[in-house]
Structure 1
Amino acid sequence: MSPITNSDLQTRRMNAVPRGVGSATTIHAARAENAELWDVEGRRYIDFAGGIAVLNVGHRHPKVMEAVRRQLDLFTHTAFQVAPYESYIALAERLNALAPFPGPAKTILFSTGAEATENAVKIARAATGRNGVIAFTGGFHGRTLLASAMTGKVNPYKTPFGSLPPDVYHVPFPAGDVSVDDSLKALGFLFAADLDPSRVAAIIIEPVQGEGGFRVAPTGLLRALRDICDTHGIVLIADEVQTGFARTGSLFGIALSGVAPDLVCVAKSLGGGFPLSGVIGRAALMDAVGPGGLGGTYAGAPIACAAALAVLDVIEEEGLVERANAIGARIRARLEALRGRTDLLPFGAPRGPGAMIGFDILDHRDGTAVRHGGAAAVCARAAELGLILLSCGVHGETIRILVPLTAPDSQIDEGLAIIEQALAA
């Protein structure tokens, strides 16, 4: 039998899988370890994508794998709504103790980031008796219908899907020519013209926009939103699906601002590669929904809970919060050293907290205008050279780096050297 190839699998994929689910590369994974991945043809890659911010503790961390093996020997599923189990409760207790806000907390678990954001809105609506939700342009909150409505980008998340859930409004996110004052002024216009604050259940925001281009929410904006929410009884939701669990040099990205949210959406790196998400919130808000109003058949699956408890141990024991800052400093220094090179594509200053680093491909070396779609070619060239790298940004202009926080310096440097070569193309 002939060995399987990436091309073979790509052909089979095109025949069997709808085109609506896109893939950043045509690399078909065979195995992975920490920050390395091998495809079905045996080729090795450095992984700077981390499964889109899922693998802060790397592929197959030994402690995570051991925790999963132990759970496999016990049971794989009961449904928490049928026969609850300790690992779910223990994980909720751990997350409550880590919550980035004062006072009693409670946590409910789900499976995906979109489930977390949608259920956060359900909780906010139940607690306030209101419908309105305010989000930001460039934000990404998932692909289900309500999550798509909250996402601040039309293509490809909204265009073909008809009417989306109502009572979702957007204001400009501070980026480019938009200042914090501009955002707050737009919010004021919204309150004056379309949506009285007494009708708003929640404001949802990413502390650092993920798909929107690794744009950091200014502290001034977050503080103003906290004041507005306090004044009008609005729930402030921090979407930490991509920023959570040490990526930003803090366990939660919003903690860098000193602003305390009311609800926190978590997912991605919480499960260490296993599907898991949740909402951590102020206890009084979380108890606003009666029994049966929240949950899911696979929500808080026991294997994922076991993995997540091990992830939290690894973050603490291996000092990954501090490691994220060290990795970020290393990446920023290397990129800054490359920016003046005239033999490379022009690119902007690296940005983002901790090890959540992005930089824009520019149109001209002496300007700031971004090259629309410019990141895709760099990522494709990087894959040819042995590096898995992702793009993002409203215009597809941003390269984002999400290397596992457990990656050794030698592999980080290897990946950065490939970025240099890809920019030379």
Structure 2
Amino acid sequence: MSILYTLVRYIYQKEFFYLAYCFTQIFSLGFIIIYSHFFDIADFYKEICIIFASFFAFAFAFGFFKGQILPSIDSKKELFLISSLTIFAIVIVIYHYMLFSYLPYTIIYLLLLLSVIFNSKENIKKSLLHIFSWSLVCLFLFILQVKSIYIKSGYIDLILVAFMLEAVLFTITLENRNKELKNINEDYENMLLQQTKLAKTGSMIGNIAHQYRQPLNNISYILINLRNKYEKDKLTKEFFYTKYNQIEEQLHFMSKTIDDFKEFYSPNKEKENFLLIDSINRAVNILQSLIKQYNVELNINFNTSEGTKVYGVANEFSQVILVLLKNAIEASKDEIRPIIDINISSKNGLIEIEIIDNGKGISKTTFSKLFKPYFSTKKEGFGIGLYMVKLIIEKSFNAEIKAYSLEKGMKFTIFLEKSF
């Protein structure tokens, strides 16, 4: 069963150490069969099994511990430890005629033990579980010294117990390794999300400057108007407060723009119930300058309550809408009349958000690669935008996103659970 397990893991994950360990187990099983005299097989084949099991065990150790089998000595403590282990290995070799006659696998698992200890600095101490049983077996046999005492007692053959225990511990080791890799992968995904935001910082700053230009011009005209009225002694209290309120409106718009950007770039990962309309508007406000620059007709159609809420990280959802909306703008900007529709509807507890553009669309070859990392149809693109969109929707919101190639343009649909 353990052989089949490691073989299946190799087929799915394509990591060499799984295959090496599978062959180690196969030849180990061959040794046990011959050793236990289940069949009338010459001892010559037992030696063949030992040789190949040793070879593949070495290959497994080399692959599993990333090739760092030989130690690097950086301190007196490490020198003492390595010297002790080397002496231990020499004693085992000298003890060959007593220990190896019962447990030929000692040298194989000593190799794995050494590689584990030498790599303990690389945060793989949990892998000691994989070798612990073999260390106990070796130590027990050294203390016992006389093999015949154990055999005459009528106990189960120790090597069979060791093999069963080793298989269990190897499974635990792999599970620990998978958990560590999963944690590392999640850290990389979080880093990639922040890098995606930073990669867009330049264009976003440009958008802020563009959005500020209009309100600043308006404030300038209002102040000029106030000065002219004052110089001509025609400034009335009513006129003054009218212009004062206009300036406040412009300043409020500028302040809100900064708040939107601040919220968008916040690394906050706390999940909460948030209004869908707020998250969509935040992304729209950030891209307002592009929408005006290319004269895009943007239609937001709520076919459900505007008080609809979803559960998740609000600024991550804004990131999703921003990427999809920006792609739609860039796809349709060369059209005579660029149109983008955002349709929000709900049915049976599910929210559907559609983002549709009337751009030129994409080819079938490109369509199949849409959500692949580092694939982009734009020369200046990084190819991580849609990949991150899919990642956020599936992992952070436990939802689904689908892309549709239309006769004219593209449609992206997000399926979310409504928060009640």
TM-score (norm 2): 0.19
**Which structure would you say has the larger Rg?**
2
Instruction: Kindly indicate whether structure 1 or structure 2 has the higher relative contact order, using CA contacts under 8 Å at least 6 residues apart.
Output: 1
TM-score (norm 1): 0.19
